[in-house]
Chains A and B, each alone.
Chain A
Amino acid sequence: MQSTNHPPIKAVPLRHPFRWAVALFLVLSAAAFIVDAAHRSAYDWKSFRKYIFDTRVLQAAGVTLALTALAMTFAITLGISLAVMRRSPNPVFRSVSWLFIWIFRGTPVYVQLVFWGLLSTIYHSFFVGIPDIHFNNFYLGFHQAISQNFSLFWIAVIGLSLNEAAYMAEIVRAGLLSVDAGQEEAATSIGMSWWATMRYVVIPQAMRIIIPPTGNEIVSMLKTTSLVTAVPLVTDLYARTRDISAETYNPIPLLLVASAWYLAFTTILMVIQYYIEKRFARGQATLMAAAS
């Protein structure tokens, strides 16, 4: 607007020689490492290429994804219920919620998974009674990977969800508390029911606070699934690559295979999270200004 009358400042920009030196050093070191690793036989890139798209590995990656998706779905549902119970005027609900969180957040997830695995041998008939799920032929291999270990798979899902629900409950609770009390009041004053107020006014605003840590929890869950061997479930990505490397006597390429898949999944999750966060930032003056 003012450009014609007031010429823009012309100045020599400040130099940052030290930054450049450090950056150069890091880039060179990384390059040296990569060149070296590419030729070093211990990494065995041939095996890496051979196994990265191996059917067993792909199926195992599918099991890991299924564990993550199911465990997080249950954990988020249960976590929301626990958070709402913590807000309830009913002291019984509040105590139950508090006790649940106390126990499941206070003990290691590995120990909990071992415990659920043992419990399933004690109450065998209960877990066998859970019905199978039908998959179409396209997913037959994946289906077998799950169905052969059917009860173990669901025990792992249950074990992971119960632990995660305790963390999700705290995240949701913080989100609900972050919404100004005036919002609930305004919604109530136009005649909205408690549930409509939650659903359309409080929860959408709490989402902005809930989503970033939930994204972290999903990424974290993806990696925590590698502990299901405690149940013991051995069809997930980590256990399966470990079993393959027991046959090949070379663990490093298969560790790299597993890492590559974990990394690929977390990268996809980060991208999804970015777009979801943008969507729930609607109406936020600062974020909108930054985006435009």
Chain B
Amino acid sequence: MSSTAPREPMVVAEQVHKSFGSNHVLRGISLEVSRGEVMCLVGPSGSGKSTFLRCINHLEKINSGRISVDGTLIGYRENNGKLYELSAREAAAQRAGIGMVFQRFNLFPHMTALQNVTTGMVRVQGINQSDAEIEAKKILERVGLSEKLGHYPAHLSGGQQQRVAIARSLAMRPKLMLFDEPTSALDPELVGEVLDVMKELASTGMTMIVVTHEMGFAREVADSLIFMDGGVVVESGKPIDVLNNPQEARTKSFLSKVL
């Protein structure tokens, strides 16, 4: 982990391939996300957006290519040109530094909002319970939920649950946050409160990759936008350019459906 030069990107993916059996889902994805950049990933259903995010987090193993985050190869260690698979413990340590927010929140239903946030600090980082609680309260306040510390997920609205989920990830002090359609499962009137939290996060310089159908958010907040289809990057660039002036036929037809 050499201290990296400020110009080095946070995420580098090179020719990433991933298959599930005979289903070749990712067919050579290459991209770079710089530090503090917010990248939106859009594309039709089944194009491999979720799979790509899960590969960055090593929840899925890639078949070929390489992904590195903050200058460190994900899932493997390279020694004299040879790759060695990381141990479960090392892989877990890598994941702890990469936050992930899911479409369906996946909060722990048997824990209160506060416990959802402290559990990673206590069980993974080994912080003691009372320090973790102090820190967790700050983070929950940041996402506007200081009133809901003792509530179980079942008693929170979808928007509140998703904000707890974001807080749970932030508690691990990640250097990168991955969002997989964070607002798709929400009632329309609750989308705004989650996007506001994400905007605030972006403004503090967090590096974020966001799979979303919220083109307004992409336009307003994202630094770059990638259009994926069939497991490849079809088009990429500044959100305004891609959204207002798409070059590829596939991008045009997709955007005409969602805009």
Contact = CB atoms under 8 A, between A and B. Distances in A.
B102 A182 contact: yes
B127 interface: no
Interface of B: 57, 59, 88-89, 92-100, 102, 104, 106-112, 119-120, 123-124, 152-155, 165, 168-169, 171-172
B106 A200 contact: no
The secondary-structure label for the interface of chain A is helix
Given A190-B120, A285-B152, 15 more contacts: A180-B106, A183-B106, A185-B102, A186-B107, A186-B108, A186-B168, A188-B92, A189-B98, A191-B96, A192-B92, A200-B123, A204-B110, A283-B153, A285-B154, A288-B155
A193 B95 contact: no
A185 B95 CA distance: 11
Given A186-B102, A191-B124, A288-B154, A282 B110 contact: yes
A185 B124 contact: no
A190 B168 contact: yes
Contacts of B99: 189-190
A282 B99 CA distance: 26
A241 interface: no
A259 interface: no
A190 B172 contact: yes
Contact of B59 (A189, A192, A205): A189
Of A186, A190, A205, A280, the most chain B CB neighbours within 10 A belong to A190
Contacts of A190: 95-96, 99, 119-120, 124, 168-169, 171-172
Nearest to A201: B108
Contacts of A189: 57, 59, 95, 98-100, 169
Contact of A191 (B93, B154, B155): B93
* Majority secondary structure of chain B interface residues (helix, strand, loop or mixed): mixed
A194 interface: yes
Contacts of A201: 108
Interface of A: 180, 182-183, 185-194, 196, 200-201, 204-205, 280, 282-285, 288
Nearest to A187: B108
A283 B154 contact: yes
Nearest to A182: B106
Contacts of B110: 204-205, 280, 282-283
A280 B111 CA distance: 11
Contact of B120 (A192, A194, A204, A285): A192
B172 A283 contact: no
A217 to B, nearest CB: 23
Contacts of A196: 123-124
A187 B96 CA distance: 10
B108 A183 contact: yes
A186 B100 CA distance: 8
A218 B110 CA distance: 25
Contacts of A288: 152, 154-155
Contacts of A200: 119, 123
Contacts of A205: 108-110
A90 B216 CA distance: 48
Nearest to A184: B106
Given A190-B172, A191-B93, A205-B109, A283 B152 contact: yes
